[in-house]
Chains A and B, each alone.
Chain A
Amino acid sequence: MTRALGRQGAMLAATVLAWVPAAAVAATVNLGNGTEPESLDIHRSSGVSEANIQRDLFEGLVAQGPDASLVPGAAESWTVSDDGLVYTFTLRQDGRWSNGDPVTAEDFVYALRRGLDPATAADYAFILYPIENAEAVTRGEIADFDELGVKALDDHTLEITLKAPTPYFLDMLTHQMGYPLHRASIEQYGEAWTRPGNMVSNGAYVLSEWVPQDHITLTKNPEFHAADEVQIDEVLYYPTEDAGQELMRYRAGELDVTYDIPADQIDWIQANLPDEYRNYPYLGTYYYGINTTIAPFKDNKALRQALSLAIDRELLTAKITRAGELPAYSFIPPGVMGYEQQAADFAAMSKEERIAKAQALYAEAGYSPDNPLQVEILYNTSDNHKKIAIAVAAMWKQALGVQANLRNEEWKVYLASRDEKNFEVVRASWIGDYNDANTFLELFLSDAGPMNAPGFNNARFDELVRAAAFETDVATRAEMLEEAERVFMDETAVIPIYHYTTQHMVKPYVKGWANNIKDVHPTRYLSLDQ
């Protein structure tokens, strides 16, 4: 496009002009952002890279503070009915779109309907299923959108009705599926509404430039209700798929914050740039799923437990991954709201005791060093997964004599294999969509479909998780979910390995970038201290 060519001319001119001292320097921050966004349409994308940009462009009913706590966003207050089913949001009067139009309840109605519309084919539509009739609408069972539990009572009052009390509903609304949309511009521009110049947004920033694979520029939105608190005038997002390259750009001063860190250079970073290294727990677990639908793992709890016990998680996280991850003895990571971690009983055992028990269970399952288990570990292409798989295979060999071979597939093929259950042991991870235990447990309901990679099928577990969805008392609900996790962990359909941490490099002059468990860092809270 001529934009790209013109851009190069502009860049050349800018490079030359950079020598001319500027009168007032705009505060610009350069962020590494992982992959190139699939789309900036909130209903057509679902990754972290896209979410970061969309979080700066749009504001939902509920927003996130610098520490990821829930704060009023487009809605200044809300009430919940006693039965937990009806949420009434009062929108702020001074909410504006970037073209000056006021943000109304209709904008949310339009957006939520569009998100659930089967014609939009939004792959994260299911996150809105707690809303009354949402699932039926997306499946095409209900054609009349008026039956959807989302109503605009007037310009500034929005009422959402749920099908069951959902304690994590407000947290879910911070997901991009809950953002409003400016109907007029979408209808005017159609598919091209996400282009710079066409896009109308209600967040702290507007989209001003998009050079595919090169960078995306957002500039401050003067119509934003908190615009005078926003200190960064311009933010540039760069696609950085290679963490090693990203680190080099960071060191050269081209990036102010990185998206990730190359795992094998952690020691070097901690020795040379310790103050710029940010490491914090993340709402996610790395685990190995065991295919419980095939031999030899089917109905063979002893074998599965043996494999789990034989892995030395402390050694793995200390020597192989080395990013401060927490060895995982439960599936649900620490820091989940209102939930107590359920550590497996072998967490308290010493390494020798675990190995001894593993060997006993292995023998019980009918295996021995002379009759070893042959197993295949499937993982998707990545240095990190490879290193962990090699280490796990070595541990299994050392402790039990298991012969493990490794199968490496690239992402899409790996997903197909995993979904079709074409594996014996598969590497997987789960990052919570919202801060509640349910997002981790609903994965393994017997009717969860391909997401339930191990094919876990336990009646008691299903019963507990489903009943918890309707339980209004917070404490009782927590107990039900905790018991469900205990049942799940005992069956050892999965082997949790570690709980995630996120790691970033952040330049010392970037202020307002706070560590938090959801790893969200809206640019509206950042400032530069140069």
Chain B
Amino acid sequence: MYAYAVRRLLGAVPTILAVIVIAFFMIRLAPGGPFDSERAIPPEIAANLAGAYHLDEPLGDQFVRYLGNVLAGDFGPSFRYKDYSVTELLWSGFPVSAQLGISAMVLAVLLGTAAGAYAAVRRNTIVDGGIMALAMTGIAVPNFVVAPLLTLVLGVYLSLLPVGGWGGLSHAVLPVVALALPQVAYVARLTRGSMLEVLRADFIRTARAKGLGARRIVTRHALRAALLPVVSYLGPATAAIITGSVVIEQIFGLPGIGRYFVQGALNRDYTLVMGVVIFYAILILLFNLVVDLLYPLIDPRVRYD
């Protein structure tokens, strides 16, 4: 297992390099530069700005310079937030996004698997239908509708929770719930689907024949087998949560890196976007590695290739 993990980690290096290259050139080639502003800048000032940020060098040189800096841990200054370096912005935004994302993921997995398993066990009853209907609505309603709705009811009308900003448990409740909801729904559906298949399997029949209680069967034997598609889904789930966090952070005004990302693209803040992309890339790669490592632990017949 360790050999596999090390091999994967080493394999990740060219992946990250590829990501950096693609992202770098794409955003540099996009129309609109970081210093375009409402008042067109007089040419001499524009020239000064370009020089200060090395934008007048050939693209290749800019890339090499950038790569060198990154390897030294310096993502460069933000083009738009001129008082901060990208590293500082990522460092200040990451705890927020991480707390948001991890809480949402945990909520999604726990609540989702529990709901899905329960629905599967109570197949074709009202409970099953009800849970699946709720799950459907969780998927069908976009989070930029759910979030303002929850905020309106809980934050404005009932004044139970703060509406925006970040700073404590109460600030986290609404964003985490809004972010987790679609994933709870997906996980619930997946769990139910695979649980239903597992419950029909022979080894379950054997267990039942041996006289094991229903609860024991479900939690000890069936759940473990049914979790395989869920574990497969954890990768996409992370991506979905990262994508969703962009909207959620925007709506609740949270100081996380999701917001930096969108604003960076729209502002052509090259260094900030690169920083966020590389950051996400490392995060996702690590997470997928963990998922792939978990797989054989759950299904012993699967080997590391």
Within the complex, what minimum Cβ distance (angstroms) separates B229 from chain A?
A: 36
Residues of chain B within 8 A (CB-CB) of A45 are 82
Residue of A12, A118, A413 touching B44 (CB-CB under 8 A): A118
Q: Is A123 within 8 A of B156, CB to CB?
A: no
- Interfacial chain B residues near A295, Cβ < 8 Å: none
Which of chain A's residues have a CB closer than 8 A to the CB of B156? 248, 251-252
State in angstroms the CA–CA spacing of A123 and B49 once bound together. Answer: 9
Kindly identify, within residues 113 to 153 of chain B, every residue whose CB is under 8 Å from any CB belonging to chain A. 148, 151-152
Whether, in the assembled complex, B193 has its beta carbon less than 8 Å from a beta carbon of chain A, the answer is no
A41/B164 contact (C-beta < 8 A), A238-B253, A252-B155 known: no
Q: Please give the distance in Å from A521's CB to the nearest CB on chain B.
A: 21
Tell whether A168 is near chain B: CB-to-CB under 8 Å: no
The number of chain A residues with a CB under 8 A from chain B is 62
Flag if A416 contacts B32 (CB, 8 Å): yes
Whether A122 contacts B45 by the Cβ 8 Å rule is yes
Within the complex, the shortest CB–CB distance from A175 to chain B, in Å, comes to 12
Does A244 touch B at the CB level, under 8 Å? yes
- Which stretch in A32-40, A316-324, A396-404, A478-486 binds the other chain? A32-40
Shortest Cβ distance from A16 into B: residue: B168
The digit string for B33-54, where 1 denotes a CB below 8 A from any CB of A, is 1111111111111001100100
- CB pair B168 A11 closer than 8 Å: yes
Residue from A41, A119, A252 in contact with B163 in the complex, judged by beta carbons closer than 8 Å: A252
Task: Verify A124–B39 contact, CB threshold 8 A.
Answer: yes
Whether A241 pairs with B155 at a CB distance below 8 angstroms is: no
B39 touches A11 (CB 8 A): no
Q: Do A8 and B37 contact each other (CB < 8 Å), given the known contacts A139-B44, A245-B251?
A: no
**Residues of the A chain whose Cβ atoms lie less than 8 Å from the Cβ of B31:** 412-413, 416
Q: Is the CB of A213 within 8 A of B251?
A: no
Q: Judging by beta carbons under 8 Å apart, are B168 and A245 in contact?
A: no
Could you tell me if A419 and B36 are in contact, using CB atoms closer than 8 angstroms?
yes
CA distance A253 to B159 in the complex (A): 9
* Residues from 41 to 73 in B contacting A, C-beta threshold 8 Å: 41-45, 48-49, 52
Contact between A125 and B168, CB atoms less than 8 A apart? no
With an 8 A cutoff between CB atoms, is A90 at the interface? no
Whether B236 is near chain A, meaning CB under 8 Å from some CB there, is no
- Would A38 and B82 count as touching, CB distance under 8 A? yes
A4 B92 Cβ-Cβ under 8 A: yes
Known: A46-B37, A213-B255. A1 touches B81 (CB 8 A): no
Tell me whether A119 and B48 are in contact in the complex, defined as CB-CB below 8 angstroms, given that A15-B167, A249-B164, A254-B162 are known contacts.
Answer: yes
Question: Closest CB-CB distance, B148 to chain A, in whole Å?
Answer: 7
The verdict on B95 contacting chain A, using a C-beta distance below 8 Å, is: yes
Q: When the two chains form their complex, are residues A138 and B44 in contact, meaning their CB atoms are under 8 A apart? A: yes
Find chain A residues with CB under 8 A from B197 CB. none
CB distance from B177 to the nearest CB of A (A): 16
A318 CB, min distance to chain B CBs, angstroms: 28
Q: When the two chains form their complex, are residues B81 and A415 in contact, meaning their CB atoms are under 8 A apart?
A: no
Which of A140, A192, A240, A411 counts the most B-chain CB atoms under 10 A from its CB?
A411
State how many angstroms separate the Cβ of A319 from the closest Cβ of chain B: 25
A214-B37 contact in complex given A8-B95, A118-B44, A241-B250, C-beta closer than 8 Å: no
Does B28 make an interface contact (CB < 8 A)?
A: no
| Smallest CB gap from A239: residue in B | B253
Q: How far is the CA of A251 from the CA of B49 in the complex (A)?
A: 42
B91 proximity list for chain A (CB < 8 A): 1, 4
Q: Which residues of A contact B41 (CB under 8 A)?
A: 123
The segment from B102-110, B260-268, B282-290 that touches chain A is B260-268
Binary flags per residue of B148-178, CB closer than 8 Å to A gives 1, else 0: 1001100110010011111111100000000
**B50, closest chain A residue (CB):** A121
**B83 on the A face (CB < 8 A):** yes
Q: How far is the CA of A123 from the CA of B48 in the complex (A)?
A: 10
A96, chain B: closest CB distance, angstroms: 25
What residues make up the interface of B, taking CB atoms closer than 8 Å to A?
Answer: 31-45, 48-49, 52, 80-84, 88-89, 91-93, 95-96, 148, 151-152, 155-156, 159, 162-170, 250-256, 259-260, 266-268
What are 16 residue pairs bridging A and B, where the CB atoms are less than 8 Å apart in the complex? Answer: A1-B91, A12-B169, A40-B83, A122-B45, A126-B45, A192-B83, A213-B259, A244-B148, A245-B253, A248-B148, A248-B156, A252-B163, A412-B267, A415-B32, A416-B36, A449-B40
* Interface, chain A (partner B; CB < 8 A): 1, 3-5, 7-8, 11-12, 15, 36-41, 44-46, 118-126, 138-140, 191-192, 194-195, 211-215, 238-242, 244-245, 248-249, 251-254, 410-413, 415-416, 419, 449-451
Closest 6 pairs between A and B when the two form their complex, measured CB to CB:
A412-B32, A213-B255, A11-B167, A121-B48, A450-B40, A39-B82
